[in-house]
Homo-oligomer: A and B are copies of this chain.
Amino acid sequence: MSASLNPSALARLLGQWHPGAAPAYRELADVVRLLVLDGRVALDTALPSERALSEVLGVSRTTVTAAYALLREEGFLSSGQGSRGRTRIPRLSPMGSAFPASPASGTPGRPAATPGHEATELGFVPPGLAAPGLAAPDGLIDLAYASLPASGEVVHRAFAAALTELPALLPGFGYDAIGLLPLREAVAARYTAAGAPTTAEQILVTSGAQHALNIIIRALAGRQDRVLVEHPSYPNALDAIRAAGCRTIPVAFTSMHDAGAGRGPGAEGSAGGLPAPAWDMQALRAAMMQQRPKMAYVVPDFHNPTGQLMPDRQRRQLVRIAADAGSVLVVDETLRALNLDGAVTTPVAAFSPAVVTIGSLSKSHWAGLRTGWIRASEPMIQRFAAARSSLDLGGPVMEQLAAAHLVRALDEPLPARLGALRDSRAALLELLAGHLPEWQTERPAGGLSVWCRLPAPVSTALTVIAPDFGIRLAAGPRFGVGGAFERYLRVPFTLPPEQLETAVLALRSAQDRLHAAPQLRRTLKPAPAVAIA
A residues in contact (CB < 8 Å) with B: 1, 39, 42-44, 88-92, 118-121, 125, 127-134, 142, 145, 147-150, 152, 155-156, 159-160, 163, 166-182, 184, 200-201, 207-208, 210-211, 214, 218-223, 225, 236, 239-240, 242-243, 245, 362, 366-371, 378-379, 382-383, 385-399, 402
Contact = CB atoms under 8 A, between A and B. Distances in A.
A304 to B, nearest CB: 13
A201 to B, nearest CB: 4
Contacts of A219: 1
Contact of A39 (B39, B173, B214, B386): B386
Instruction: In the A-B complex, list the 7 residue pairs whose CB atoms are closest, starting with the nearest.
Output: A174-B368, A130-B172, A174-B367, A128-B181, A368-B397, A150-B170, A1-B222
A243 B223 contact: no
Given A159-B166, A223-B223, A175 B130 contact: yes
Contacts of A156: 163, 166-167, 170
Contacts of A201: 91-92, 127
Given A44-B383, A396-B399, 9 more contacts: A118-B177, A129-B180, A134-B173, A149-B172, A150-B174, A174-B368, A175-B368, A214-B392, A368-B397
Nearest to A205: B128
A522 to B, nearest CB: 32
Given A119-B177, A155-B170, A172-B130, A370 B390 contact: no
22 contacts: A39-B386, A39-B389, A43-B386, A43-B387, A91-B201, A118-B382, A120-B389, A128-B178, A129-B176, A134-B173, A147-B173, A156-B166, A172-B368, A173-B368, A174-B367, A236-B390, A236-B393, A243-B387, A243-B390, A245-B245, A371-B396, A398-B398
B132 A176 contact: no
Contacts of A207: 207, 392, 395-396
Nearest to A180: B129
Nearest to A494: B173
B389 A236 contact: yes
Contact of A367 (B150, B173, B184, B399): B173
Given A155-B170, A382-B43, A175 B145 contact: yes
Max chain B CB contacts within 10 Å: which of A180, A225, A379? Answer: A379
A184 B239 contact: no
Contact of A394 (B120, B176, B239, B386): B120
Contacts of A125: 173, 175-177
Contact of A176 (B91, B130, B171): B130
A458 to B, nearest CB: 26
Contacts of A119: 177, 385-386, 388-389
A212 to B, nearest CB: 9
Contacts of A210: 390-393
A128 B370 contact: no
Nearest to A121: B175
Contacts of A182: 129
Given A156-B166, A366-B174, A393 B120 contact: yes
Contacts of A149: 170-174
Contacts of A388: 119
A132 B165 CA distance: 12
Contact of A362 (B121, B128, B174, B222): B174
B402 A398 contact: yes
Contacts of A242: 390
Contacts of A163: 156, 159-160, 163
A81 to B, nearest CB: 13
A205 to B, nearest CB: 10
A105 to B, nearest CB: 23
Max chain B CB contacts within 10 Å: which of A172, A239, A387, A395? Answer: A172
Contacts of A225: 1
A172 B1 contact: no
B152 A171 contact: yes
Contacts of A167: 152, 156
Contacts of A129: 169, 172, 176, 180-182
A347 to B, nearest CB: 22
A44 B383 CA distance: 8
Given A156-B163, A218-B1, A398-B399, A211 B367 contact: no
